[in-house]
Structure 1
């Protein structure tokens, strides 16, 4: 099931069962989104992502950064990261996400995809440090990319296009029952920056 036409789909649950995903579309004018994209590309401490898979250390082309209210430690793919202090631009974007969603977040994991050749495999954000069934606000800048969900049992898939300056939220039991991914594409050579605002507990 593809939801490439986002008009009319906004603020409606895109998942048929076992979770909540709402796409709010573009939250700001193109000029404002361009400003934030440039800020994020220039002033974030980007590093190549790392993972330990079957005992092998992997370094990805995709770059990541981790920011938060304090030096939260966050572990995924057997690699632990320590949060950096917020930048002014990140605090502005966090405020936009919180007011739009009616949530509060204390951290943000950022991903930089240099071109459509870089993506993310099927996964769910079920790390033990995350608030159980908490909201994850996903804000996108740069290249428009397809984003897909797949139910862990039924294998049903749903996809949509994430626009420049847009916001999507995943809530409730979404991470327990659904995988998501950013498939690679040869259709774009432009960079994309994704911010996922999260709530870390017990730290």
Structure 2
């Protein structure tokens, strides 16, 4: 992954993960712990969390986590059969977005916040390949709070091929052809784990 237009490009020089047909970079300490602690507490307390329901096999089930979608006014986002209208940027989220834009050298106009309250909150296998994310989706994923395992598998396969422990204050960037060839998940776990907040910043290229 190259970021020649940004003065922070050196952050990503040795952060690449070697997976075929994918562009991923992982920074385990993108921000210091004190900043991460402050961001976590502020966002958990101030976000108007929702827990929508999805229809599966004729029955409605609550999504196994809390979520919120923020963004520019035109950045509507549809996934899992739900259309999300963006909340206006909160001051802290706007600050985080600006930091990421400067680090990546790429515009970002939306952020999906997922709050995993315990090990039973999860995210199933999926790819972030919705039409409005464009041909080569860019997803910048900031993790705050308890560590959770992030699994990757090839599309059409069931075997987990790579896993990461997403640390407090870490940043994972997925771009290029990653979403075309790979799926990812955050599985349920019986291990004790602290609440985790995940912020995935995106560029909505074709608003609904």
| TM-score (normalised: structure 1) | 0.89
For residue 125 of structure 2, what is the aligned residue in structure 1? 122
For residue 147 of structure 1, what is the aligned residue in structure 2? 150
For residue 3 of structure 1, what is the aligned residue in structure 2? none
Native 8 Å contact 2:64 2:120 kept in 1: no
Backbone CA RMSD of aligned residues: 1.9
For residue 170 of structure 2, what is the aligned residue in structure 1? 166
Q: Provide the rounded CA distance (Å) in 2 between the counterparts of 1:70 and 1:79.
A: 17
The answer for unaligned runs of 5 or more in structure 2 is 1-11
Q: Provide the rounded CA distance (Å) in 1 between the counterparts of 2:81 and 2:57.
A: 10
Native 8 Å contact 1:105 1:197 kept in 2: yes
For residue 99 of structure 2, what is the aligned residue in structure 1? 96
Among 172, 185, 191, the residue aligned to 1:187? 191
Q: Provide the rounded CA distance (Å) in 2 between the counterparts of 1:38 and 1:67.
A: 18
Q: Secondary structure at the match of 1:72?
A: coil
TM-superposed CA distance for 1:49, in Å, is 3.4
Q: Provide the rounded CA distance (Å) in 1 between the counterparts of 2:51 and 2:160.
A: 32
TM-superposed CA distance for 1:170, in Å, is 0.4
CA deviation profile, 1:127-173 (whole Å, cap 9, x unmatched): 11112213100001000111111011464610111111111000011
Native 8 Å contact 2:101 2:107 kept in 1: yes
The answer for unaligned runs of 5 or more in structure 1 is 1-8
Aligned pair count reads 195
| TM-score (normalised: structure 2) | 0.87
Q: Which moved more, 1:137-146 or 1:100-109?
A: 100-109
